[in-house]
A = this chain, B = another copy of it.
Amino acid sequence: MKKTTSEEKEFLQQYDSSMFEKPSVAVDVLIFTIEDDTLKVVMVERSEFPYKGCLALPGVFVGIDESLEDAVKRGVKVETGLTDMYFEQLYTWGDVKRDPRMRIISVSYMALVSIDQLCAKSANGNIRDYLYPVEEVLTPDKELAFDHKEIIAYARTRIKNKAAAYSDIAFNFMSEKFTLPKLQKVYEILMDKPLYKANFRKKVSPMVLETEESTSGEAHRPSKLYVKNADYNALEE
């Protein structure tokens, strides 16, 4: 990795002699999207023991010269082809027996992406085949690999809390231009509860900017298109 100085050698020798074995470190990535008005997460079916046939979160081991974030980007890229998306660290899971094969400490991250972006880059096979409704995989009788159900439940709670606080996470699921009814629907899905139209619009009005465009062609009044107000967070001071 790097050359060691004489001062550091003492430490490294001491460390090597006291620690016989190191845990492995992985990142598990929860790629969330909204499809058919449903919050979904990317999962893969395990072809090997343990948990053969169960759904598991995609994950990669962290390389010795790779930051956690770089490992996440690598994992997301192999899974979806996407190179730029919003993600944030969730929690680190370190139970000794969480993986029966060997000691693996997992740093979990959640990535949020619109279904449009997700499908645009889907080169190998259809990414839609790997999307599973979150509420479905969280049902008690559904068996998932390792502690992945707990991890997904943790992420689900985080998403709900952030949406309820009207943070801007919902925008990660939107295309660039969107109508307020669509945005409201996304917040409702994330919060898992219905919202009053007028109140919702009061809340989000500082977070969005109206455009000149509108929807058309549907058998009802058209809806104005909005974009995210990039200055919103700056105003928060």
- A1 and B64: CB pair below 8 A? no
A90 to chain B, nearest CB (A): 10
Partner of A96, one of B12, B48, B66: B66
- B8 and A101: CB pair below 8 A? yes
Provide the bound-state CA to CA distance between A162 and B5, in Å.
Answer: 43
Dominant SS at the A interface?
Answer: loop
Q: Contact flags (1/0) for A60-103 with B, using CB distance below 8 Å?
A: 01111111110000000000000000000101101110001111
Q: Within 8 Å of chain B (Cβ to Cβ): is A49? A: yes
- A92 and B95: CB pair below 8 A? no
Specify which of A21, A22, A24, A66 lies most central, judged by the most chain B CB atoms within 10 Å of its CB: A22
Chain A residues 148 to 163 lying within 8 A of chain B, measured CB to CB, are none
Chain B residues whose C-beta falls within 8 Å of the C-beta of A22 in the assembled complex: 22-25, 64
Known contacts A64-B21, A67-B94; A12/B102 CB under 8 A: yes
Chain B residues whose C-beta falls within 8 Å of the C-beta of A36 in the assembled complex: none
A39 to chain B, nearest CB (A): 23
Q: Within 8 Å of chain B (Cβ to Cβ): is A10? A: yes
- B19 and A61: CB pair below 8 A? yes
- Which residues of A approach B to under 8 Å, CB–CB? 1-2, 4-5, 7-8, 10-12, 15, 18-25, 48-50, 61-69, 89, 91-92, 94-96, 100-103, 105, 107
Chain B residues whose C-beta falls within 8 Å of the C-beta of A61 in the assembled complex: 15, 18-19
A188 to chain B, nearest CB (A): 22
- A and B contact pairs by CB, cutoff 8 A, 28 listed: A1-B102, A7-B49, A8-B49, A8-B50, A8-B100, A8-B101, A10-B48, A15-B24, A15-B102, A19-B24, A19-B61, A19-B63, A19-B64, A20-B64, A21-B64, A22-B23, A23-B25, A23-B64, A25-B25, A25-B94, A25-B105, A62-B94, A64-B103, A65-B103, A67-B94, A67-B95, A68-B105, A89-B91
